[in-house]
A and B are shown apart, each in its own frame.
Chain A
Amino acid sequence: AQSVSQHNHHVILSEAASLELGCNYSYGGTVNLFWYVQYPGQHLQLLLKYFSGDPLVKGIKGFEAEFIKSKFSFNLRKPSVQWSDTAEYFCAASGTGFQKLVFGTGTRLLVSP
């Protein structure tokens, strides 16, 4: 069965700390991977996506993620977080042709100033 798991449900960091959020997937066939962010009171926004090619993907706002096929992982990273990064982060996967998305449970990130 298709599934996405996120290991950290809540993360608290101080500003300037480095961030890494874990994401593992279980998906038959070719997989497309995504990270979405939901700021308080706002809708989901795409941070970055991986379809093929370079496994290190750079997204908006200084975020990046690395696709490691052997580990079935797509961890999200940012070298130095800001208070404005406080949000909920969702990892998601789909098959090719942008089929339905399967979401992880989300990680709430709180960055203290």
Chain B
Amino acid sequence: GAVVSQHPSRVICKSGTSVKIECRSLDFQATTMFWYRQFPKQSLMLMATSNEGSKATYEQGVEKDKFLINHASLTLSTLTVTSAHPEDSSFYICSARGQGAGTEAFFGQGTRLTVV
């Protein structure tokens, strides 16, 4: 299947700083990318959906000023956690799908963010 690469896989940052996570589709054009957050022993919760060249659509309860999403090209989307706090520590996963109805979404390997 297609490959989605997420970077970094792990990051530790100090409280108050910002962290950027990248999600790249390596062998297909990702018209839509999804960002999920996974808490320990819980399911993946969708944070936002982004279409290339458009503003991201955030799920209810997700602060768009805190979790900045940019999808500037068909192969790259970024999630920036601004002014991170310990409660933002979590596992963040991106997924990408290409053009065409019914096209499968492919997932990145996830990023473990720890805010100290």
A residues with a Cβ closer than 8 A to B are 4, 9, 32, 36, 42-46, 49, 51, 90, 97-98, 100-106
Chain A residue with Cβ nearest B4? A43
Contact assessment for B49 and A105 in the assembled complex, using a CB-CB cutoff below 8 Å: no
Q: A32-B102, A105-B43 known; 18 other A-B pairs, CB under 8 Å?
A: A4-B43, A43-B4, A43-B6, A43-B93, A44-B93, A46-B1, A46-B104, A51-B102, A97-B101, A98-B97, A98-B101, A98-B102, A98-B103, A101-B44, A101-B95, A103-B36, A103-B45, A105-B41
Query: For chain A, what secondary structure do more than half of its interface residues adopt (helix, strand, loop), or is it mixed?
Result: loop
B residues with a Cβ closer than 8 A to A are 1, 4, 6, 34, 36, 41-46, 49, 93, 95, 97, 101-105, 107-110
Given the interface pairs A90-B44, A103-B43, the reply to whether A98 lies near B105 with Cβ below 8 Å is yes
Q: Can you list 30 A-B contacts with CB-CB less than 8 angstroms, sorted by A residue number?
A: A32-B102, A42-B109, A43-B6, A43-B107, A43-B108, A43-B109, A43-B110, A44-B93, A44-B95, A44-B107, A45-B1, A46-B1, A49-B104, A90-B44, A98-B97, A98-B101, A98-B102, A98-B104, A98-B105, A100-B34, A100-B46, A101-B44, A101-B46, A101-B105, A103-B36, A103-B43, A103-B44, A104-B43, A105-B42, A105-B43
